[in-house]
Amino acid sequence: MKISAVIPLYNEEEVIDEFADRLIKALRELTVDYEVIFIVEGADATLEKVTELSRLDSRVRVDYSLKRLGLGKAMKKGLGLVDPRSTYVLTMDSDLNHDPEEIIRLLEASKVADVVVGCRSKTRGLVQELPWFKRMVSASTNWVLRNAFSMDSRDVTSGFRLYSAKAIESVRDELVAKNFEVTAELLIRAKKKGFSIAEVPITFTRRPRGTSKLSFVKSGIGYVTLLLRLR
């Protein structure tokens, strides 16, 4: 069994050291083979830090783009670099919103589903402590997408997921999203192809340092475009 973690990074120098340490520690404790693929953009020290990490750990791979790709294209690029021998593909946020120690919960659920979504939950996380506006935007976006595509998943926009390699191979070349809506597109396309989807509750915490890259204007346009394109 092998897990390929695909992690896009854009100017995350404030958190990348802690995130990478926790991610690799969690993967090692699973006692499975793994690789971590960092897709790096931006001009801060992020590239330098993960490049140094790759020198120390051959299972860490780094791909750098001088030109800004956007999350959608960066994710598609990273998924295309996954080892063909991998069993699973892991995606998650690098800003410490997601807890790498909970990867094991997704792996356990993958025994009965092709895609496992880490569902943000008030009972397990700090979602209720996030700004009201962000919570409302997230809730309304999820509601629209769930109903538009008859999704069983309650958290269509969560980026903390474990996919079967087969599911990723089936949808990655079709991805067209440019920004944050790529997470929804992956799930919707997987569902349309008949892949089974399960959810597990996860802890979701505030970013402790650094600045969020989310643009509500770009995301809004992206989700509307996605809705029109995939309906």
Q: What is the mean pLDDT of residues 108-121?
A: 93
- Residues in contact with 224: Cβ distance below 8 Å, sequence separation at least 6, in sequence order: none
Q: Give the pLDDT score at 89.
A: 98
List phi, psi (to 5°) of 60.
-100, 125
pLDDT digits (tens, 9 = 90+) for 26-77: 999 998 999 999 999 998 999 999 999 999 999 999 999 988 999 999 999 9
Is the pLDDT higher at 219 or at 72? 72
- Sheet containing strand 88-91, edge to edge, reads 60-64, 33-41, 2-10, 88-91, 161-164, 115-120, 197-202
**What global pTM score does this model have?**
0.90
| Percent of the chain whose pLDDT exceeds 70 | 86
Predicted pLDDT at 215: 54
DSSP-based three-state secondary structure for 191: helix
Give 127's pLDDT tier (boundaries 50, 70, 90).
Answer: low
Task: Please name each of the domains of the chain with its CATH number.
Answer: 2-230 (3.90.550.10)
Identify the CA nearest to 97 among candidates 159, 20, 36. 159
Higher pLDDT, 80 or 66: 80
Q: Which pLDDT score, from 0 to 100, does residue 197 have?
A: 96
Taking only the tens place, the pLDDT of each residue in 4-30 is 999 999 999 999 999 999 999 999 999
Average pLDDT over residues 138-144: 78
* Mean pLDDT rounded to a whole number for the chain: 88
Average pLDDT of the residues in 171-199: 95
pLDDT confidence of residue 185: 96
pLDDT at 220: 65
